[in-house]
Amino acid sequence: MCGIAGFLGFNGVPVDPRGPRIALEHLRHRGPDGEAVTERGPCTLVHTRLSVIDVDGGGQPMDAPRSARHGPLTVVHNGMIYNHRMLRRRLESLGHRFRSNHSDTEVLLHGYAQWGRRLPDHLNGMFALAIWDDDAQTLFLCRDRAGKKPLFFRLTDEQLVFASLVATILTAGPRDGCSAPSADRAALVGYLRRGYCEDDCLVNGIEQVPAGTWMTVDGSGRIARDRYWSVEEPTSGIDDGRRDDEGSRFRDRVRATLTRAVDRRLESDVPLGCFLSGGIDSSVIAALAQERLQANGAAPLRTFSVALGDADYDESADARLTATHLGTEHQQLTVDPMGDVIGDLERLVAMMGEPFADSSLLPTHWLSRAARPHVTVALTGDGGDELFGGYDRYRAMRWLDQHAWWLRRIPPGWVPPDTWRPRSRRTRIHRLLTAARLARPSDRYGNMVHLFSDTQISALGVDPGAAPPLPWPETPDPVAAARRWDLEHYLPHDLLRKVDRASMAVALEIRCPLLDPAIYHLSHGASTADLMPDGRPKGVLREIAADLVPQAVAHRPKRGFAIPIGRWFRRELREPAEAILLGGALAELGLDGDSVTKIHEEHVAGRVDHTHRMFALLMLALWWKRVTSRE
């Protein structure tokens, strides 16, 4: 795990030497164990290292000198290649000679020399990488399939700048044309609708290499790009030398495949543990990891949960129950959520360079910060809901597909929402009746997941027409379509972005076994009935969990990793939140001040629960203040 950046000058225009040094400083929190800047003609590569694999021999930027096979190559890499040992053996059989003991980064150099742009087809891992080919004078950029590791870039007439974070480009990139950043209006609409940005960033001119995509840039600024993988075609060239028994039950195939995925992610030369929330996903991951470690005669798995001090949001008791059952070395970490909430948000925004409206960013960051003194790597259960149908909204989509014909005859006004309890049964019924009156599945799903509706966006003074709705997957099964939409949008741009930023702010590597390509393949090829037997959310994972963890955990309802931020907005954070929301930053962005004031007043008075909308606006204001300050 690391921070990476690079600068490529076009047509002989030199790179300002100040930029790489500034980038190095800005990315140091992602890689405190080593750092370097390497100049290769018009290309300068920057790397800050978090040492995890081959601590002594894996330093970057890493070079492959000229050989009979290829010219000089230089790579910077953020992430972990889980099948690097198998790839090393294959490449050695093809005549490649390695200098390091077991560096996964060196595999990228020899793999590129062997396969060129087809390199990512062979990789099982989480990665954002850049390879400079000195002979071809070409920069190769690439991201992993799921979009776990970030890679942003800004292209001008004179140079390309890329980095792990938007803030790094803003801080270290060229000042011309960027001294007064402007907000992309389409990206702003997307942020208000969903609470996150897609690959087009809120700052005009900065975008992200999409997940599952490679891109090349030559010395004249010409770009070529291609998507080597997508959700609808989840097969890949990855070969781990083993095959599932196609005749076995689907549940057994999932467990066997997931066991191998966990096993691949246990390799580490530094302390490794597992986040244990008490939910199904993390409990299954912890159980399988503990099982593999015991089979190998290793020490027990170290597991971590966090106690937030609020009974409505604290899952630590369930985590302890699972840990005791599994025999892990468990630590319950206590954090002070009211220590410096605004300060933590300001620091995270400064590191990210982008707003982010998912308030679970905070507890994820607090857990990462508390666990970091104990481990450098942690496994998590991210991805289970999207891959195995864990959200209630998936059941709602199926219900609407079957019953909308008569539900739309019931006026939504007959069951008015409880404006202060958005998750109450009455409010959910109201939303179901409202969605039933919409003809298209995409509109129904959008009604369920939006943060601000288009009507509310208009009230804020922003034109929702600046950004068309995101494309809806073409499949007759509404549950499969919703899952695929989440895998393409919500998972990479919200959940994985949150995990990366929250953990790497304290240099903690997070690994997600459920996002292994083989798990994607199984999930995508399965029917909704396979994934959700008897209509139960995440039913097949619950069946696996029933064999591994206490029954109380295997059958407990889903709970999100949340904090009482809405209550804090009314009490402890009322004054600082008001100062930020009404301090002028949102008005500078073109948002209507009266509408923002109304949202704040309705929430504080307890009339309407605007928790998530207030958090989104708060983060937007903090971001704009930071961006325009150019600190």
| pLDDT-derived band at 318, boundaries 50, 70, 90 | confident
Instruction: Report the candidate in 488, 285, 477, 500 with the shortest Cα–Cα distance to residue 384.
Output: 285
| pLDDT-derived band at 334, boundaries 50, 70, 90 | confident
What pLDDT score was predicted for residue 413? 83
pLDDT, tens digit, for every residue of 143-174?
999 999 999 999 999 999 999 999 999 999 77
| pLDDT-derived band at 233, boundaries 50, 70, 90 | low
Cβ atoms within 10 Å of 297's Cβ, excluding its own? 6
Across 104-118, 124-138, 227-241, 418-432, least confident range: 227-241
Question: Taking 90 as the threshold, does the pLDDT of residue 412 lie above it?
Answer: no
> How far apart (Å, rounded) are the C-alpha atoms in residues 254 and 533?
14
Instruction: Report the candidate in 280, 554, 275 with the shortest Cα–Cα distance to residue 390.
Output: 280
What pLDDT score was predicted for residue 337? 65
What pLDDT score was predicted for residue 276? 93
HSE, side-chain direction, 13 A CA sphere, residue 79? 29
What Cα–Cα distance (Å) separates residue 27 from each residue in 16, 30, 34, 47, 627? 18, 6, 11, 8, 17
What pLDDT score was predicted for residue 227? 95
Residue ranges in 34-184 assigned as alpha helix (H)? 84-93, 104-115, 166-172
Amino acid of residue 102: H
What pLDDT score was predicted for residue 242? 47
Fold of 241-557: Rossmann fold (3.40.50)
What pLDDT score was predicted for residue 333? 82
- Per cent of the chain over pLDDT 90 is 77
Quick one: average pLDDT of 600-629?
Answer: 95
Question: Taking 60 as the threshold, does the pLDDT of residue 178 lie above it?
Answer: no
Q: Which two structure tokens, joined as six digits, stand for 110?
A: 């020899």
Q: Which two structure tokens, joined as six digits, stand for 49?
A: 């290292």
Q: What are phi and psi of 249, to 5 degrees?
A: -65, 150
Amino acid of residue 544: I
Helix (H, G, I), strand (E, B) or coil at 582: coil
| pLDDT-derived band at 180, boundaries 50, 70, 90 | low
Higher-confidence position of 126 and 468: 126
What pLDDT score was predicted for residue 279? 87
Domain boundaries defined on the chain: 2-183+206-227, 241-557, 565-629
What pLDDT score was predicted for residue 69? 76
What pLDDT score was predicted for residue 560? 64
What pLDDT score was predicted for residue 307? 79
| 140, containing H or E segment | strand 138-143
**Do 2-183+206-227 and 241-557 fold alike per CATH?**
no
What average pLDDT does the structure give for the chain? 91
β pairing state of 138-143 and 213-218: antiparallel
- For domain 2-183+206-227, the CATH architecture is 4-Layer Sandwich (3.60)
Question: Taking 90 as the threshold, does the pLDDT of residue 308 lie above it?
Answer: no
- Per cent of the chain over pLDDT 70 is 94
| pLDDT-derived band at 241, boundaries 50, 70, 90 | very low
| pLDDT-derived band at 235, boundaries 50, 70, 90 | very low
